[in-house]
Amino acid sequence: MEYLESRIKVLLSQARQLEIKVAQHQVDWGVWELKEETDIPPQYLLDGDDEFVSPFYGILQSIYLSAVCYLDTRNLEHYLGVFYKIFGRDPLCLNYRDKFEMDHYWSGEPYSVFLAKMNVFLSSFEFMESSSEKYDRVSGLQYLETVLKNTAVIISKNNLSPKTETEVYNAVKSTLGFIFTSSKSPKSNFIKTAKEYKPDILIPELYAAVEYKYAADEQKLKSTIEQIAADVKGYTGDKDYSVFYAVFYATDDFWGQAKFSKVWNEQGFPKNWIPIYIVGR
């Protein structure tokens, strides 16, 4: 049993070392196929198949077979049935084997959907506790995002009528303090030569920072987006924070979500900056 647990962890580690290279190789294939300059693939793509893709597929197959053996050894027939539903019954044609998505919440890099789902599936077992840390953080960020999107609801339930961004984020901050204990007394090092940058909310356990903006009219909404764009470079230099939320609390629906997203995208924000548009109640 211990051998299988150790083997699964080693195989997962080996797969993670290759997943970004495989994802980039997929992109390179896609770019070449779009160009359609020749019917013969360039040698560097064929070499990449041998160097990255084939070993990656072999490791995923070994993970699959080791997991099946582990579940079978522990007589977990029902959980084994769930496993087959997720990953399929054919180790030569695994579900999600070729699927990659972008991790906007954490690393900003592509990740293997197969590995992500395998980590979630195996996280029920004690031996996987440390291996699931990254995916636990992603879940935490999604929960944080849900709370931020409910800013107007939190304010309404507390019978508040905020007139400043401080009043807005303080209401949310008190709520987050019950969920993420590290947000109660956080520290940061966003210090530049002429200015110290202090996000409104910091959650160290998620490596996340939140900046709130308050807009009582359309012009103010526009200027606050421009202000955030100007401050982005200031929020660097602290390795403890890598995901940033910009929450815009508008007292009325001045633009609508579509226009807000368009204006935001025009500013060219980094992918680790996530905007949230809130209309006050």
Could you give the angle at the alpha carbon of 263 between the alpha carbons of 248 and 228, nearest 5°? 50
pLDDT of 244 over the 50 cut: yes
Two tokens at 132?
């699931």
pLDDT of 130 over the 80 cut: no
Distance in angstroms (rounded) separating the CA atoms of residues 246 and 263:
14
Question: Which tens digit of pLDDT belongs to each residue from 47-91?
Answer: 888 999 999 999 999 999 999 999 999 999 999 999 999 999 999
pLDDT at 104: 63
DSSP 99: -
User: 3-class DSSP state for residue 119?
Assistant: helix
- CA distance readout (Å), 127 to 139, 218, 245: 20, 53, 33
Cβ contact 176:202 at 8 Å? no
pLDDT at 107: 55
User: Which residue is associated with the tokens 């966003």?
Assistant: 190
Confidence of residue 36 (pLDDT cuts 50, 70, 90): low
pLDDT mean across residues, the chain? 86
To the nearest whole percent, how much of the chain has pLDDT over 70? 88
Q: Strand order of the sheet with strand 208-215?
A: 201-203, 208-215, 243-250, 273-279
At 192, the amino acid letter reads: K
Question: Which tens digit of pLDDT belongs to each residue from 93-118?
Answer: 999 999 998 776 555 578 899 999 99
Confidence of residue 43 (pLDDT cuts 50, 70, 90): confident
User: 3-class DSSP state for residue 92?
Assistant: coil
Mean pLDDT for 210-239 is 87
CB neighbour list of residue 218: distance below 8 Å, 6 or more residues apart: 254, 255
C-beta contacts of 263-272 below 8 A and 24+ residues apart: 263/222, 263/225, 264/225, 267/225, 267/226, 267/228, 267/229, 268/229, 269/228, 269/229, 269/232, 270/232, 271/102, 271/104, 271/108, 272/104, 272/108, 272/242, 272/243, 272/244
In total, the chain counts a number of residues equal to 281
Out of 6-20, 143-157, 229-243, which region has the weakest mean confidence (pLDDT)?
Answer: 229-243
pLDDT of 197 over the 70 cut: no
Highest mean pLDDT among 14-23, 104-113, 123-132: 14-23
Cβ contact 28:45 at 8 Å? yes
- CA distance readout (Å), 38 to 31, 35, 41, 50: 13, 8, 7, 21
User: 3-class DSSP state for residue 50?
Assistant: helix
Three-class SS of 201-255: EEEHHHCEEEEEEEECCHHHHHHHHHHHHHHHHHCCCCCCCCEEEEEEEECCCCC
pLDDT at 106: 54
Cβ contact 190:235 at 8 Å? yes
pLDDT at 194: 45
pLDDT at 234: 75
pLDDT at 198: 79
